[in-house]
Amino acid sequence: MEKSLSHVAIIMDGNGRWAKKQNKDRSFGHYQGTNNVRNIAIAAEAMGISVLTLYAFSTENWKRSAEEVNYLMKLPAQFFDAYMKELMEKNIRINLIGHFDRFPIDTQRVLKRAIERSKDNTGMVLNFAMDYGSRDEIVNAIKDYTADVIDNKRANDLSVNEFSDYLMTSEFGDVDLMIRTSGEVRLSNFLLWQMAYAEMIFVETHWPDFTPNDFKECVKQYYDRDRRFGGVK
Ligand code: FPP
């Protein structure tokens, strides 16, 4: 039935295990994982996908060692220094969902600059979920909605579609396809509302090894599936 593919979300898992397999530090896995963001973003853009949302840092990732968190905070600079020029040439717009203001000032500056530089681009949106957690997002949406009702900005008559407008993804809508790498089969607090009808694909490959061809294979599987949205064919 529904065969369009607009919004793809990826849980980029397995950087640490990938590095460990070759007796390297976890940070080397994150380094290669960041380079792979470029490969998959370019492939997604070429395939005409409208929005690619990547889970880059969860609200739970603060629990990692200070050393690892510090390293993760440097990834945006690594990424945009290396690839921003190419992303601009591809007309890709950078967006962020998550908290943002809890990051070190330098990291915030790098992210703001990428968003600002690309804000007029009209091609694919490369949407990073950073310091993002879906339950946190939903609770904040409820607070915003309640405030609007209390302030008499609207009636207490919320619909499902209107609730989506209170989420950080209001501009992008539901997820069509979710891919998680590295063999774990769970959602880890990622876009829970937006994935109500998403097709999900879990692959064994660790994120740094996940190639554009693997990505294309997932998209092919998506098109082979029969999306019924609770209806009958
Ligand atoms: C999960 O692997 C991966 C992360 C927590 C970080 C993902 C971030 C990137 C790949 C780059 C982000 C890029 C930008 C520009 C912000 P893991 O460490 O949980 O792996 P493990 O499960 O094997 O330990």
The pLDDT of residue 233:
72
- In the structure, what pLDDT confidence band is assigned to residue 196 with cuts at 50, 70 and 90? very high
Q: Which of 176, 158, 187 is nearest to 225 (CA)?
A: 176
Annotated catalytic, 189?
Answer: no
The pLDDT of residue 230:
79
Please give the Cα distance from 66 to 60 (Å, whole number). 13
Catalytic residue (one of 25, 39, 61, 140): 61
Ligand 1 atom closest to residue 207's alpha carbon, by position in its atom list: 10
Strand partners, 128: 54, 96
Contacts of 158 (CB under 8 A, 6+ apart): 145
The pLDDT of residue 164:
96
The pLDDT of residue 3:
64
Q: Which of 94, 98, 142 is nearest to 121 (CA)?
A: 94
pLDDT tens digits, residue range 130-186?
999 999 999 999 999 999 999 999 999 999 999 999 999 999 999 999 999 999 999
Sequence-ordered strand ranges (E) for the chain = 7-11, 51-58, 93-98, 125-132, 177-180, 199-202
Domain ranges of the chain: 7-224
**Yes or no: domain 7-224 corresponds to CATH 3.40.1180.10:** yes
- In the structure, what pLDDT confidence band is assigned to residue 1 with cuts at 50, 70 and 90? very low
The pLDDT of residue 226:
83
> Which protein residues touch ligand 1 with a CB less than 6 Å away?
12-17, 30, 33-34, 37, 56, 61, 75-76, 79, 128, 207
Catalytic residue (one of 13, 95, 127, 131): 13
Residue whose CA lies nearest to ligand 1 atom number 6:
56
Please give the Cα distance from 96 to 13 (Å, whole number). 19
Residue whose CA lies nearest to ligand 1 atom number 3:
13
19: exposed, middle or buried (C-beta count within 10 Å: 0-12, 13-18, 19+)? buried
Mean pLDDT throughout 110-131? Answer: 98
Q: Two tokens at 59?
A: 């609200």
- Decide if pLDDT at 26 tops 80: yes
Ligand 1 atom closest to residue 80's alpha carbon, by position in its atom list: 15
Annotated catalytic, 13?
Answer: yes
Please give the Cα distance from 55 to 64 (Å, whole number). 16
Contacts of 223 (CB under 8 A, 6+ apart): 3, 5
Q: Which residue has the higher pLDDT, 161 or 229?
A: 161
Mean pLDDT throughout 202-224? Answer: 97
- Decide if pLDDT at 121 tops 90: yes
0.85 surpassed by pTM: yes
- Decide if pLDDT at 2 tops 70: no
Residue whose CA lies nearest to ligand 1 atom number 24:
16
